[in-house]
Copies of this chain bind each other. A is one copy, B any other.
Amino acid sequence: MSSRLLDSLVTTDALAGVFSDAAVLEAMLRFEAALARAQAECGMIPAAAAAAIEQAAAAADLDAEAIARAARASATPSIAMVAALADRARRIDPAAGDLVHRGATSQDVSDTALVLLLLRAQPILAHDHARLADALVRLSDEHAGTVMLGRTLLQPATPITFGLKAAGWYAAIDRSWSRVRRAFEVACVLQFGGAAGTRAALGGRATDVARALASRLHLPLVPPWHTDRDRLGALVTACALYTAAVGKAARDIALLMQAEVGEVSERGGGSSTMPNKHNPSSSIAAIAAATRMPGLAAAFLGGMIQEHERAAGGSQAEPATLAAIVQGTGAAVAALAGAVEGLSVDVDRMRANLDATRGGALAEHAVMLLSTRLGKREAQAHVARALERAHRERRRLADSLADVPAVRSVLSDDELRDLGRPESYLGDAEAIRSELLGRTAAAALD
C-alpha cells in the first residue's frame, strides 16, 4: 500500500494506497459486480448469477502481477481481469462465468475503475487543501500588520505586509482548488458504452442497465466518452494550475528562509552530513512535485487526439500519467500544508531587511512626493543622489534628503517623517488583503 522509493517524494502514503494494485483491482471488480447486479435488476441475467459474480468479485484474490503481464499482450488489463473473475464466478455458479462483463468493453471497466479511484483520492486532497487554506488564513491574519520588503525581480521594491503576501498565496491556491474540485465533480462519471459506444450488446435494456449501473456506483450517467478525454484533461490541468500556485508559495518560503534573508523558518529539515543545516525540506518537496507537473500535464494532453471510437495508443498510457498527476498534487499540498502550519516568522528580521535598504524601499514614495513640486526629473535626481549618500554614510534616505535645502523646503514635517516609516507607504495593502481572503468583494474594495 506504500509508495515506491523512487516515487517517495512525488506521492503520499495515502495516495500511493489509492492507486495501489489492490485498489485498482478492487475498483475493477466493483464495476463488474455492479454491472451484474444492474443486469439482474433489469432482468437480463439471473439474480443468482449476479450474486455469484458479486461474491467472486468480493473475494479479491486476483494475481495483479499476472494481469499486469497479460495487459501488455492485449494493451489492456481488463481482458485478463475479466477472465480471472469469470473463472471464480463459474466455480460458484456455473452459469455465472459467461455473464461476467456482459455487454461491456474493456475501457468501460478500466475508465470507471479509474474514476472510482479518483473519487477516493479527492477527499485526501481536499483534506490537505483545507489544512493549508486554514493555515494560510491564520498566518495572514496574524501578520496583517507585519511590514516587510516587497521584492520584484528578486530585488527590494516597496513595502508590503506579510499578511498581504500570505493572503496572495491563499487566494491563488484557493481559486485553483475551486477548479480542482469542480474538475473532480465533472470527471467522476460512469464510462459505459460497450464495444463502440452504442451499448448495442445490451439490446433493448441498454438504457435501463446503464442507469442502474450508474446508480449502483453512485456515478452520474453521461454519454460514453471513450475517446473524449476532456473531462480528465480538465482535471489534469486543474491539478497543474493548483500545484503551480502551491509551488509559488513554496518557492517564496524557500527564498525567505535563505540564511541571508532569514524572515521565515520551516520546522525540521536536517542534513546527512552538516549539523549547521536547516533546510526548507517541505517547501522543497512541494516545489519538486510542482516542477514536474507541466510536463506530466503535457504527457496527458499529448495523448488526447484519439482515433475514432477507441484510441490506438493515445489513451493506453493515461492511467499511469493520471495517477502520477493526482499523487503529485497531493504530495505538493501535503508538503506545503506542513510547511505553513509549522512556519515561524521573524518579524524583526523582516524589519531589519527593510531597514537595510536605508530607505530605498521608500524611494518611490519620495519621488512621488517631490515630483509634483520639483518636476519628475529633478525629483528622481535628488532621490537617487540622496539614496547613494545614505548608503555611503550608513544613514537613512529620509535623513539624507532632509539635508538638501531644495528638498527640505518643499516637504512638510509629516511627509519627511513618513519617508522614514515603511508602514506609511502600504497603500491598499490591507484592503487588498481582505479582498484576497474573500472578505470583501472586488466591487466594494474599501
Given A160-B196, A195-B157, A258-B154, answer yes or no on A284-B301 (Cβ-Cβ < 8 Å).
Answer: no
Chain B nearest Cβ from A318, distance in angstroms? 8
Q: Which one of A18-26, A51-59, A136-144, A402-410 is at the interface?
A: A18-26
Q: Which residues of B contact A393 (CB under 8 A)?
A: none
By the criterion CB–CB under 8 Å, are A310 and B153 in contact?
Answer: yes
Nearest CB in chain B: distance from A57 CB, A: 16
Q: How many of chain A's residues have a CB under 8 angstroms from any CB in B?
A: 192
CB distance from A106 to the nearest CB of B (A): 4
Give per-residue flags for A274-316: 1 if the beta carbon is below 8 A from chain B beta carbons, else 0: 1111111111111111111111111111111111111111111
**Is there an interface contact between A427 and B198, defined as CB atoms closer than 8 Å?**
yes
By a CB distance below 8 angstroms, the chain B residues around A176 are: 230
A344 at the binding interface (Cβ < 8 Å): no
Q: Across the interface, which residues of B come within 8 angstroms of A367, CB to CB? A: 273, 275
Q: Is A38 in contact with chain B by the CB < 8 A criterion?
A: no
Q: Is the CB of B270 within 8 A of A287?
A: no
Give residues of chain A (317-344) contacting chain B, Cβ–Cβ below 8 Å: 317, 319-321, 323-324, 328, 331, 335
Nearest B residue to A16, CB-CB: B68
**Set of chain B residues within 8 Å of A308, measured between Cβ atoms:** 150-152, 154, 165, 252, 255
Q: Chain A: interface secondary structure?
A: helix
A375 adjacent to chain B (CB < 8 Å) = yes
Is B196 in contact with A77, judged by CB distance below 8 angstroms? no
A428 to B202, CA, bound (A): 9
Residues in chain B near residue A357, CB distance under 8 A: 259, 276
Chain B residues lying within 8 Å of A258, measured Cβ to Cβ, are 151, 154-155, 258, 260-261
A247 within 8 A of B: yes
Q: Is the CB of B6 within 8 A of A223?
A: no
Question: What 0/1 readout, one digit per residue, does chain A (244-278) give for beta carbons within 8 Å of chain B?
Answer: 11011011101101111100000011111111111
The smallest beta-carbon distance between A136 and chain B, in angstroms, is 13
Asked if B98 and A375 sit within 8 Å, CB to CB, the answer is: yes
A229 contacts across to B, CB distance below 8 A = 244
Q: What are 16 contact pairs spanning A and B, CB under 8 A?
A: A4-B24, A7-B320, A8-B67, A72-B285, A98-B376, A106-B272, A150-B196, A158-B194, A199-B432, A233-B241, A284-B313, A285-B316, A288-B314, A294-B294, A295-B300, A295-B302
Top 6 A-B pairs ranked by shortest CB distance? A295-B299, A287-B313, A150-B196, A200-B427, A152-B310, A276-B360
